[in-house]
Structures are given as C-alpha cells and as structure tokens.
Structure 1
Amino acid sequence: MGQTDLRYLKSLSNQYPTIATAATEIINLQAILSLPKATEHFITDVHGEYDQFLHVLKNGSGAIKRKIEDEFGNAISAAEKKAIATLIYYPEQKLEQVLKTEDNLEDWYKVTLYRLIRICKNASSKYTRSKVRKALPKDFAYVIEELLTGRQEISDQEAYYNEIIRSVIRTGRAAELVIAFCNLIRRLVVDHLHVVGDIFDRGPYPNLIMDTLMEHHSVDIQWGNHDVYWMGAASGSAACICNVIRISAKYGNLDLLEDGYGINLVPLARFAMKWYDKDSCDCFKLDYREDEYDVHDAFLDEKMHKAITIMQFKLEGQLIKENPEFEMEKRLLLDKINIEKGTVCVEETEYPLKDVSFPTIDWEDPYRLSEDEADVMERLVTAFVNCEKLQRHVRFLYTQGSLYKVYNGNLLYHGCVPLNEDGTFTRVNVFGKEYAGKELYDVLEGYARKGYYAIDPKEKKKGQDILWFIWENQNSPVFGKAKMTTFERYFIADKITHQEPKNPYYRLLEKEEVVNRILEEFGLEGAEAHIINGHIPVEAKKGESPVKCNGKLLIIDGGFSKAYQPKTGIAGYTLIYNSYGLVLAAHEPFESVEKAVQDGSDIVSHTVLVQQVVRRKTVADTDIGKSLKESIHDLEELLAAYRAGTIVEKNRAE
C-alpha cells in the first residue's frame, strides 16, 4: 500500500472509525446499487413558454399518469385517474374546484388521501428511506412518513393509520396535506431534469422559467445559442446586449427586460425618438402576440428595434475585424452599402435595399458608433452588468450548465458537433490554435466561463468575444449554420439571401458510422449509448421523426415556442429515461392552467417507446452507481487495513 493510499484511508477512517461503521456503510451502499434507476426528464427549446414548460414539468411528460396506471389499473375509472392526475399537477387550483362542487368533502378527502398515499408509496419505492425523508415537507414530515411506512391492511396498525387521516381532516389540515402529497409525488416521480438548451427568447417569460429551475431539486442545463448570448450580455458584451434587446423588441417582449429584469431602456427610447422619429421603420415591424402585447407601444418599440439593430451591426462588425480568425469577413455588410444607388453587395451580388434611412452611419467609417450611440451603449452595459436578477439567473446557468454533458450513457448537447462533408470533425481556429470534436467544446466552454468570471481584462474580453462567437459563428456547435442572415432578413427582399445552410451534421445524422464516431469522441459506445439533441425543430406535420439513426440519436425539439408550432405541427417533444428504457412524448399546444384544471385536459398527445432495456436498469448501471462502487472499494480497503492492523480502530468515545 502506497503512502498516498494510506493517507487517504486514514482520512476515510475519521468518517468510519470502526470496522462496524465501515461494514454498515458497505451494506448500505451495496443495497442502494440494487434499487431501480431513478427517472430522468429531458426538455429542450423552451423559449420562454412558461405555462407550457410548467405543465410538462408538473406532469413529468406522462410519468405521473403511468404511475397512476401502474398502481390502479382497472380498479378505478378513467375519469377518476384523470382527476387524480390533474390534482397532482395543480393541487391548489383543483382543490378550489373541489371545494365548490363536492357535497361530502370529508369522504372526498379520505378517498383522495388513500389514493395519494398509494401513488406516493409506488413513486418512493425506488429510493432509500433516507432520500425520501429528505424530500418530505417540514410541516407534514412525521405524518407523511407514518402514512407511507404504515400498513393499513394489518389489523394492529389499521386503527392507528385511519386515526391519523381522521385527525388531519378534523383539525382542518386535510387540504394542506393533499397539497403536500401532490408536491412530494411530483418530486419523487422525476428524480433529475435535463434542459437541453434555449430557455430564452421568443416566448415572454424566460425569467419565470429560470426562477422555477433555480427551485428545482436536481437539474442540469446544456447551453443553447439563445442562452449563451444572454450570458454574454450579463457579462457586459455590448454586441450580445444588442442582440438581447433586438430579439426582445422583435417579438414584442421589451417588457421582459423592463419589468421582468428592471433594466432601464429609457436612454434607448430617447435615442430612437431623436434619430428615427420620422422614420416609418417598415422593415422593423414586430412579431408580437395580440393577446400579450399592447399595440399602442408598437410605434416606439419599432424605432427602438431599428436603433438597436443598427448598433448591433456596427458592434458585430468591430468584433469581426478584431478577430480575423473567426473567418466572418463576409458578414461585414455595412461597408458594402451604396447609399446613392440604394443597394448592398452580398457575396459579389448587388441587391436593392428595402430601407435606405441610416441617419447614424458615417459612410467613411460605417462601423463606428456615433457619439449618441456610444452613450446609449455605455448606459445599457451598466444596466445589464448591475441587474441583480439577471446576474443571479446567469450565475445559475454557469454553475448548473455546460456546452455538453455525458450522463448515464447519454451525450446531451444543443445544436451539433461541427462536421465536414465527409463526416470528420471540423478543425476550428480559436485564438491561433485549432480544435475539433470534444476539444472544441471544451475550449469554447473554458473561454465562455472566462467571459463572465475572468479578472484579467484581456482574458475577459476574449471570453466575451467567444460568447458572441458561440451565438452566431458558422463553426459554433450550438448554432450549426453557415451564416446568420439577420441583415438580409431586415433589408433585402430577395429570399435567396435569407437562406442559412445547415452544417453537414444534419445531413449525416442517419449514418451510423458518423454517430458512433461522435459518441466515441465523448467516451461512449455500445447499443445503449444515445445522443440527445436540441435546437432544430422536428417537422412532425411533414412526417419527420425525432428518432434518428436507428434510435442512436434523438432530436427532441418539436416546437415548444408558439412561433415554431405552425411549422412543426406540435408543441414539442420531451423524453423520459427510466429503469425500463427511453420513452418519447409528443405534446399538443397548451391552452391554459384553468382549462387543464376544469376539463382535466393534458397536453401529452402520444408516447413512443424508443428503447426498452433487456434487463431493468438499477442504480448500479448509472454514473451514481459507478461512484458508489468506488466508495465501496475504498471502504473494503479500509476494512482490510483495520483487520491487518495497518490502521487502528478509534474509540467511539473519542
């Protein structure tokens, strides 16, 4: 035994000071390994759709319904199962309805509590008692534990068990206990949540989604392109800030910045009215939802939309010039405008401009901010950097997030692994060095973290530039297109210029050798390894399947965002991975919480079994299981050291 090993075992002996304590922990950990694997829930491309996100989160993409079905089968009616499911999703709202409609409330409470106890027992069966105990709500911890561990069918316990429920009803705490059980069931049915990118943009409430994720018991996030530039904006990147404001304006969501985050946009509004007051801003009409936007704001918002867009093009032009290794010179278009002719030259072709009003551009130096623009940007940078709520959300994205994750035999990422046409990994220049595959992800993530956390100004600036690079560069893993044609979409009518060719990755998804090469690059192999992918909406209405390459790759973006639903025909895919295998759920558009409670309607339209395991998976088959096995090995080494006399047991009284 080496000195390092001995030092480690002596340190471990402080936690397990005797043969008995070490042996007991081995027995405990070995038993945990035999428990069924906990359920994972995968969601992606939420895009600010808070109500739909929350409903999918609450119903566990059908996992709760399956628990109800497992427990009751044909013993209760379909209507009763639907009612109990709705209660578990929305206990407070459902109880309001029950209080108004139930004639015999005491009987309803008795029946409901007995059913919730059975579902909760079923959901908690795959966990240790210790883990369940930690999940119990403080107010009802003792009561719930007694009800879960007691057995009402045994005569000696029946009276005790029933008296607990009668006492809860008699003391007026039944409603609170029902809510506590519902919350606990949701907590136990899904053990871990994966969000595979794009929390922000398009929908109105990404801030509420972030608040919910920060309260979740176990979550990780794979950054999407729409998340990354919000992270850049919070770091103080002016180009990223412009993108955040522009896209918020485009979708009629400036209230998110002003009311949701408390960011002062008055300097931008004043600037817009000064320079664009007489401008019709026809190319900057908003794509808003009529039921969620005050059209009286459109006049000013359109001018703010144009003002921030011009500033964005200027600042992005500066970044492209400062970083020639980004290879984005073709995206320098302001200097290609011929203002006298009213045209712009894009990749050697001249196109007429739909808008020729550029009052703040100096044609001698088109990428320089005007004095007024520079003043506005300085104020906006200060507002973003000092916004406490935004900083709290972005720190959470950094602490719980990453560009990719390998978890329980699956590779999770948003976007694509940049590939050449022959399926090999694209080599990308990042500040003078070339990277490909996993190395590219790692170096980009490293710089993304420096962009937010670095103290050294040069390193921080590099990191901020990379955050913008990740947002829209042709070699960014989370973008995955040859170019982002923002300028063309605003200013050129010819739609051929709007095209954004996808990376070869998306044409090679069905080639098993390519997918296997990606999995191997990230340390995975075998029939049960999968890629779980977000970013590109699956057009279900055209018959496209989210299951690619014989089930090795799953693209689970089906259109949570209402902006995508006319194209996809559905409202998103989600994925459940439990001890029996992978289950894909397709969702219909969500109407409202009120309708879900009133009608018991659900948004899961259908599920597809992607893969069923030959042998039910246990904790031993998971990453946690690997860690537990290592702990068991270490404890067994400690036991051997105790028995060999290398380490002496400690007196319990010490």
Structure 2
Amino acid sequence: MQISESDLKYLELLSDSYRTIGEASTEIINLMAIQNLPKGTEHFISDIHGEYESFLHILKNASGVIKLKIDELFQDTVSEAERKSLATLIYYPEQKLEIIKQTEPNLEDFYRKTLCRLIELCKKVTFKYTRSHVRKQTPKEYGYIIEELLYGAPSHENKTKYQESIIDSIIEISAADDFIIKMSELISRVSVNRLHILGDIYDRGPGGDIVMDALMKHHSLDIQWGNHDILWMGGAAGNMSCIANIIRICTRYDNLHTLEVGYGISIRPLVTFALSTYADDTCPNFKPKVSKKDALYASDVNSLAKINKAIAIIQFKLEGQLIEKHTCYEMDALRLLHKIDYKNFTVEIDGKVYELNNKYFPTIDPEDPYKLTETEEAVMERLTAAFLESETLQKHVQFLFSKGSIYSTYNDNLLFHGCIPLESSGEFSEVKTSDRVVKGKEWFDYAERIVRQGYFGEEGSKEKERGIDFFWYLWCGYKSPLFGKKKITTFERCFIDDESTWHEAKNPYYSLINNEKIVDKIVEEFGLTKGVARIINGHMPVNKGTSPLHAGGRVFVIDGGFAKPYQKKTGIAGYSLIYNSYGFILASHEPFESAHIAVEQEKDIHSTMVAKEDITERILIKSTDTGKMIQEKIDNLKKLLYSYRNGLIKEKI
C-alpha cells in the first residue's frame, strides 16, 4: 500500500479519533457491517401549497408505510378495526388517547396490549438500522427502556418475562400515556430515513408557515426550491415585485392568515389605500376564491377584490421597471401597461387588440404607466419593511437556504422542482445573463449563486442588488428552472375575457421527457449514471387520464394536486413517492378532510398504488451515496491501520 506525504498529514489527524489499532479495526468492522444493511426509506413530496393538514397527516403515516407495516405484522392476529385504531393512535397519540380513556372499560389491559404491539412494530421498522442510529432517534428520557425492550434480555426464555416486567412498571407508575406518545413518535420518525421536498411549500393553501415549522423539526430532509418558495424568499430579501405577487396570491385565495397571523405582516397600509382608491370599482375579475362563508362573507369578498386589484396594478408597474432594468431577462412580453389604449380601453398583445373588462385605472399615468404614485410608493415601503422585520419569515427563509437548493442529486436521482430548460431540438437552452451565456447544469449553479448573494450579500453591493432582483426572474422567467413556461399571464387573466390569452405554453422539457435519450442527456449533464439515473420533479399538476411516469419509468412528475384548486383537474389530492430497499412505490392520495375526522372516525388518507418497482435483491447501503462516503472512510481507516502496523504513525496508547 502506497502512503503519500499528503496521506500521512490527513492520517495524523484521523489518528486523533482512532488512537490505536484496536479502535481503527473496530470502526472498520462496524462500517463494513453498516454497508450491508438495507438502504433507508426515502420519501418524496411535491407541491404542498400550504395544505398543512394533508401534509402533516402524510408525514405522520409515512404515505401509508406505517399502516402497511401494521398489516404485515398483525394481519393474522389482530382485527382490521384494531389495526386501524392502532394506526390512528400512532398518527395522533395525544388526541386518540383522550378518546380511548373515556371509552375503554379496562384501561390497564389496553395499555399492556398496546405497548406490546408498539414494541413489535418498532422492532419491524428499526431492524434495518444499527442500534447506534436508533439510539440517536430515541427520546432521551426513555432511551434505556426502549433499547431494553427492543434488544434486551440475555436469553430467549427470559425475554418475555423481562419485557413484561418493564411494561408492568410503566403502567404502574402512570407513565403509559407518555410512553405511548414517545413510541408513536419514534415509529413515525424512523419509518422514513430521508424526506425530499420538491418545492412549492407556499401559496394557495392556508398554512405554508405551519408546514415550515414541521419541516424545521424533521430529522433528515432536503428541499428543492419551487417558484412559489423563491417568491417568499425574494419577499424576505426585500424584492418589491415578489412582495406584490405574494400579497396578490394571498388575497386571490383568501389566505391572509399566513401573512398576518403566521408571519405577523400587517397589510393595513394596502387595505386603507385600496378601499379608498377603488371605492367605486366593483373589481369583478379580482374577487377571491373564498371558501369560508359567514356573516362577513359579502363584505370580505368586496374588500379583498379591491385589495387584489390595487396590489395587481402595483405589481405590473414594479415588474415593468425590473424588466426595463434587466434587458437580459428578455421578458418584454410582460410589459403591457404602455400598450393599453386608455381612451378606448383596449390592449395590444402580440399584434392583436383585446378589449379590457375593467376600465378604471386611477393610479396609472398613460405618459409614464410604470411609475408608482406617491401613495403606492409609501404602501410598498411599509410592506417591504414588514417583510424584512418578520422574525418568523426570516427564520423560515434562512432554513430554506440551509436545507434547500435549486436541485440536488441523491442516490442516482436528479431532484428539482420545475424543468431543465430545453429547446424543441432537445438541446439545453442558452440563457443570457448580465455577464455571460450559460446552459444546463451551469445555469442551475449560476442561478442559485445569484440568489444566495441576493439574500446574504453585503448591504449596498451590486451583487446583492442584482441577486434581490433575480428572485423575481426565477419566479416567472421563461427560462427559469423553477417556472418552465414561456410567459406568465397574470395580466391577461385579470383584464381580458378571451381565455385564449391565458394560455401559458410549457417548456419543451415536458414533452421531451418521454424520450430516454433526452433523459440520459440530462442526467449525464448532472454527473449521474446514464441508463440508470432517474429524474424526479413536481410543478406541473398531472391531470386526469395522464401518467406521472415518463420514459419507461425514468422520470416521475409527482405534483398530483395537494392544493385544492388543482384537484378538479388532477382528480386526486397528491402523489407520494417512496424509495425503499425494494425499489420505488408511487402512490396517489384521495383528499384529506381534517385531523379531527381522522381521529374521531379513524379515517386515514386512502392511497392507491400507481406504480411499483419490484427488484430481486434488496438495495444495500453500500450501493447508496451514504455507502460511498462510508467506503471512503473505510479506505482511509485501512490506510491508518497500515501506517500503525508499519510504524509510519505511532499509536496513542
């Protein structure tokens, strides 16, 4: 074995952790054993869009994995009703225990039976992990007890009595409730080894902030930013165009709760301005999609419509300014305010003239249509300050930066939200930036670097200013990897009745991904294995009658309609993709009613298997990215052993 001078310097450092031949040998044996365990389960979810109750339930049930394990383990010994009840208990232990304690005639018997079943289930979901890994996931206050229940008793004949005595003690000291809660949390936690969120945490649904809180508590995850996420990240960086878009979407979907309650951002300046400026305008095309009808319904709808229109006009002005400032964005098609005939109330788009359905523009100067009025400027300055000062929003966005990226590669899978910008020929689209032309992986890396500079850059620097502006391009730019359409048609949807103008042409990527040669071209560009690597993305809802699988199962598009507005088109309420040691399982989910109904009626989300990959040999950790890192450590430890045994490095006895 050849040991270079640079090797010796590193091995000297490594010897501080493994001080003797015995310590290095033990670690090699341990790592080689881990290499031959089955790979952990990965869970892929996309396009949550603030639907926090559905999302939290799918986290709790691991997309049906836990119920599947319960059925496998207890199908022959426990009734279907009891298995459903056990699953509900694991998903919602505190709530379910309260109901059980009110109805269960023999509580001690329930505790004993339930604890035994939870122990058996925990053994099943943890068998592929080392004791060390399970110990790290176990609540500290019960660490020793749980370890004894899972692995304890020195001989088989004593094992049952040993475990029974522990369970009896738990019940006797009134710790059963807390122990059941902690065991349930442990089972949910270890059922999924890695969570991948493929973008669009925010908008439409009522709880993007609640989803973020849950993600911040997760033990192992990565996030690929979606265009709706980058919008909020841009808002947190102070991009006024992003802020205007956020507020418009929140008013459109009657989702001010996230802004005002979740993030403490008051839109009072905008409300005051809108209700005054548009007092005589009914704003029919700006009425929100309100779902909750009560005594304030009519007033809410009228007020939100005026707020929506006010912020939309401000948005179009701000976007026009950005497009003029950055000619490299090539987005002149969105600058439409100067193409309006303010006498005849028509607008010219692509050489064709359309009548406007709203003719009230009190804040637009036809001679300078993209200039904000003094009041609009004051409104935006106050709103921007509120976004910058929201501690919770800033905390969530910092987490998105720390755990997220535009794309990632994991276990020979390429993960991203939107698309790889392609030409119809299948070539990577060339993108003009302010300093050069980029394409493919280089474009993704460049875009991520620019927005990171926008958020973390030095105040007042040109790099920070350019980065702040660039958040908006990633939200809706034609060649943005997060958007994937030729043009966003917000103006047309607001002011033109002709729905042909609403069409948003998709990037050729979405038709070309049925071609395996194109798929191979893409995965090779990102350093993955031709003929093997897969692409997993979301963003485009998979409509009824179409498949989420492309190129013979090499591409998964898993946006199935978490957001309720999409469910009429998709016919379902989302997809989940599971990748375990037996391959991929793609499941579709029916709509989720509420956590309350799930507990009271033991009603789980009904999932249907869409596709399943069956393999003859289980995938082991040594075949994964983690396995490659472990192998590198094994190789270095073997070099350290050689150095100890040949006197190149002294043991630290």
TM range (shorter): over 0.9
- Between 1:483-492 and 1:154-163, the stretch displaced more is 154-163
Distance in 2 (alpha carbons) for counterparts of 1:41 and 1:483: 32
Shift in alpha-carbon separation, 1:408–1:293, aligned structure 2, 3 A? farther
Equivalent residue runs for 1:507-518 within 5 Å: 507-518=511-522
Structure 1, residues 310-369: CA drift from partner, whole Å, max 9, x if none? 110000000000111111112110000111011111111111111111111111111111
Shift in alpha-carbon separation, 1:152–1:276, aligned structure 2, 3 A? farther
How many angstroms does 1:293 deviate by? 10
1:533 lines up with 2:533 in the alignment: no
Aligned partner of 1:431 in structure 2 is 434
How many angstroms does 1:160 deviate by? 2.7
Aligned partner of 2:218 in structure 1 is 216
Shift in alpha-carbon separation, 1:291–1:76, aligned structure 2, 3 A? farther
Equivalent residue runs for 1:536-547 within 5 Å: 536-539=540-543, 541=544, 543-547=545-549
Partner residue of 1:19 out of 11, 18, 21: 21
Aligned-residue sequence identity (percent) comes to 51
Distance in 1 (alpha carbons) for counterparts of 2:248 and 2:155: 63
Structure 1, residues 175-218: CA drift from partner, whole Å, max 9, x if none? 11111111100011111110000000000100000000001111
Aligned partner of 1:641 in structure 2 is 643
Shift in alpha-carbon separation, 1:175–1:634, aligned structure 2, 3 A? same
- Between 1:324-333 and 1:480-489, the stretch displaced more is 324-333
Structure 1, residues 543-573: CA drift from partner, whole Å, max 9, x if none? 2111111100011111000010011100000
Structure 1, residues 516-560: CA drift from partner, whole Å, max 9, x if none? 111111111255421111001111x3x211111110001111100
1:337 lines up with 2:340 in the alignment: yes
Task: Extract unaligned runs of 5+ from structure 1.
Answer: none
Shift in alpha-carbon separation, 1:607–1:145, aligned structure 2, 3 A? same
Aligned partner of 2:277 in structure 1 is 275
Distance in 2 (alpha carbons) for counterparts of 1:81 and 1:549: 38
Partner residue of 1:504 out of 499, 502, 508: 508
Partner residue of 2:64 out of 62, 73, 89: 62
Partner residue of 1:564 out of 558, 566, 586: 566
How many angstroms does 1:299 deviate by? 2.7
Contact kept in structure 2, 1:582 and 1:611, CA below 8 Å:
yes
How many angstroms does 1:599 deviate by? 2.5
Aligned partner of 1:524 in structure 2 is 528
Distance in 2 (alpha carbons) for counterparts of 1:468 and 1:364: 26
Aligned partner of 1:313 in structure 2 is 316
1:382 lines up with 2:385 in the alignment: yes
Distance in 1 (alpha carbons) for counterparts of 2:456 and 2:147: 44
1:621 lines up with 2:623 in the alignment: yes
Aligned partner of 1:487 in structure 2 is 491
1:582 lines up with 2:584 in the alignment: yes
1:595 lines up with 2:597 in the alignment: yes
Aligned partner of 2:162 in structure 1 is 160
How many angstroms does 1:153 deviate by? 8.3
Equivalent residue runs for 1:469-480 within 5 Å: 469-480=473-484
Contact kept in structure 2, 1:576 and 1:582, CA below 8 Å:
yes
Aligned partner of 2:89 in structure 1 is 87
How many angstroms does 1:614 deviate by? 3.1
TM-score, reference length from structure 1:
0.97
The amino acid of 2:552's aligned partner reads N
How many angstroms does 1:152 deviate by? 10
1:366 lines up with 2:359 in the alignment: no
Contact kept in structure 2, 1:326 and 1:473, CA below 8 Å:
yes
Shift in alpha-carbon separation, 1:236–1:293, aligned structure 2, 3 A? farther
The amino acid of 2:246's aligned partner reads V
Aligned partner of 1:290 in structure 2 is 292
How many angstroms does 1:134 deviate by? 1.2
How many angstroms does 1:294 deviate by? 5.0
1:420 partner SS: coil
Contact kept in structure 1, 2:153 and 2:162, CA below 8 Å:
no
Aligned partner of 1:8 in structure 2 is 10
Contact kept in structure 1, 2:21 and 2:641, CA below 8 Å:
yes
How many angstroms does 1:613 deviate by? 2.6
1:443 lines up with 2:442 in the alignment: no
The amino acid of 1:473's aligned partner reads G
Equivalent residue runs for 1:1-400 within 5 Å: 1-150=3-152, 154-290=156-292, 294-295=296-297, 296-400=299-403
Distance in 2 (alpha carbons) for counterparts of 1:641 and 1:231: 50
Distance in 2 (alpha carbons) for counterparts of 1:371 and 1:604: 53
1:15 partner SS: coil
How many angstroms does 1:453 deviate by? 0.6
Contact kept in structure 2, 1:61 and 1:604, CA below 8 Å:
no
2:15 partner SS: helix
How many angstroms does 1:69 deviate by? 2.5
Contact kept in structure 2, 1:551 and 1:611, CA below 8 Å:
no
Distance in 2 (alpha carbons) for counterparts of 1:282 and 1:99: 53
Contact kept in structure 2, 1:235 and 1:452, CA below 8 Å:
yes
2:309 partner SS: helix
The amino acid of 1:113's aligned partner reads L
Distance in 1 (alpha carbons) for counterparts of 2:467 and 2:295: 36
2:608 partner SS: strand
1:220 partner SS: strand
1:180 partner SS: helix
Contact kept in structure 1, 2:290 and 2:301, CA below 8 Å:
no
2:535 partner SS: strand
1:14 partner SS: coil
The amino acid of 2:238's aligned partner reads G
Aligned partner of 1:461 in structure 2 is 465
Distance in 2 (alpha carbons) for counterparts of 1:635 and 1:513: 41
Contact kept in structure 1, 2:520 and 2:531, CA below 8 Å:
no
How many angstroms does 1:170 deviate by? 1.3
Distance in 1 (alpha carbons) for counterparts of 2:646 and 2:162: 50
TM-score, reference length from structure 2:
0.97
Contact kept in structure 2, 1:152 and 1:162, CA below 8 Å:
no
Structure 1, residues 371-408: CA drift from partner, whole Å, max 9, x if none? 11111111111110111000000001100000111001
Distance in 1 (alpha carbons) for counterparts of 2:234 and 2:182: 39
The amino acid of 2:464's aligned partner reads K
Distance in 2 (alpha carbons) for counterparts of 1:251 and 1:175: 40
How many angstroms does 1:70 deviate by? 2.8
Distance in 1 (alpha carbons) for counterparts of 2:23 and 2:144: 27
Distance in 2 (alpha carbons) for counterparts of 1:608 and 1:278: 52
Contact kept in structure 2, 1:252 and 1:293, CA below 8 Å:
no
Distance in 1 (alpha carbons) for counterparts of 2:296 and 2:222: 35
Distance in 2 (alpha carbons) for counterparts of 1:179 and 1:528: 41
1:554 lines up with 2:574 in the alignment: no
Contact kept in structure 2, 1:585 and 1:604, CA below 8 Å:
no
Q: Report the number of matched residues.
A: 649
The amino acid of 2:88's aligned partner reads T
Distance in 1 (alpha carbons) for counterparts of 2:479 and 2:149: 56
How many angstroms does 1:496 deviate by? 1.0
